[in-house]
Amino acid sequence: MNSAVQHMLGVTAREDGHLEEAEVHFRRAAEAGHGGAMGSLGSLLDDMGQAAEAELWSRRAVDAAPTPGAMNNLGVVLYHSGRSGEAEQWWTRAADAGEVNAMFSLGGLADAEGRTETAERWYRRAGRAGSTDAMLNLGILLTRTGRAREAERWYRRGAEGGHVPAMVNLGCALAASGIEDEAERWMRRAADAGDANAMLNLSTMLLGRGRRGGAAWWRQRAAEAVEAAGKSKT
């Protein structure tokens, strides 16, 4: 069986949650010289807590084919090992080559370290490239720095892209601006998607508008969602 087929079998096994089987296929393909499989193996091992070997295979993937994805994955492995400085270097190389996930990671790293201007720059790049996660985070950053109107625009872009937390934040922003009907519509969309925070917010909105029955119904739905989430973690 050739290495490309082994790699695809590993991808399928991982998507199905069969991690040990995925590792077997990835390792066979990687040992046969398949660069993509080296990166996939490194990522899998990282998720499994095998940091040293994860870094080994991630570096081999970059050496075999320095693609933006491979550089981004190496950055992730290094970040999880507590080496954020090295991670930032690889993410920067990946981002400069067009890797959107690396742009978002750079924004998150800078944001966590209090480098607001750098975080904003990378979130904007990632958001303009289509990352709805970056749209949300940019909106949060803009809200935090007193630019609520621009934040609303980014929340809207994320929400229109199907990002549920962005729908919640857009609903909150609209409610704060007194645009109650649209705020309720977005909060309802997020609640219908299963977001417990949206359910609670929607309940509060409805109560404030005198619709006690709907408010009570969504409050109960929120409680059930929180309980179900707690059970899934045990």
Q: Are residues 20 and 132 in the same domain?
A: no
pLDDT band at 231 (very low <50, low <70, confident <90, very high): confident
Q: Are residues 71 and 154 in the same domain?
A: no
pLDDT single digits (tens) 93-152: 999 999 999 999 999 999 999 999 999 999 999 999 999 999 999 999 999 999 999 999
Which amino acid, residue 186?
A: W
Query: What's the rounded mean pLDDT across residues 7-36?
Result: 94
pTM of the model: 0.90
Q: Are residues 188 and 131 in the same domain?
A: yes
Q: Determine, yes or no, domain membership for 112.
A: no
Distances (CA, A) of 198 to 103, 191, 201: 28, 5, 5
Reading the block at residue 68, the tokens are: 């933006």
pLDDT for the residue numbered 110: 98
Q: Are residues 64 and 144 in the same domain?
A: no
Q: Are residues 134 and 206 in the same domain?
A: yes
Q: Which residues, in sequence order, are CB contacts of 7 under 8 Å at separation 6+?
A: 25, 26, 29, 34, 36, 37, 40
Q: Are residues 68 and 142 in the same domain?
A: no
Domain count, the chain: 2
Q: Residue 85: count other Cβ atoms within 10 Å of its Cβ.
A: 10
Query: What's the rounded mean pLDDT across residues 180-197?
Result: 96
pLDDT for the residue numbered 68: 97
Whether the Cβ atoms of residue 131 and residue 100 lie closer than 8 Å to each other:
yes
Query: Buried (b) or exposed (e) across 104-139, using 16+ Cβ within 10 A?
Result: bbbbbbbbeeeeeebbbebbbbbbeeebbbbbbbbb
> Of 20, 53, 79, which residue sits at a domain end?
79
| pLDDT of residue 229 exceeding 90 | no
Q: Determine, yes or no, domain membership for 98.
A: no
Between CA 144 and CA 177 the distance in angstroms is 16
Q: Determine, yes or no, domain membership for 99.
A: no
Cα end-to-end span (Å), the chain: 40
Q: Residue 46: count other Cβ atoms within 10 Å of its Cβ.
A: 23
Q: Are residues 70 and 156 in the same domain?
A: no
Q: Which domain holds residue 65?
A: 1-79
CATH number of the domain where residue 133 is located: 1.25.40.10
Whether the Cβ atoms of residue 106 and residue 91 lie closer than 8 Å to each other:
yes
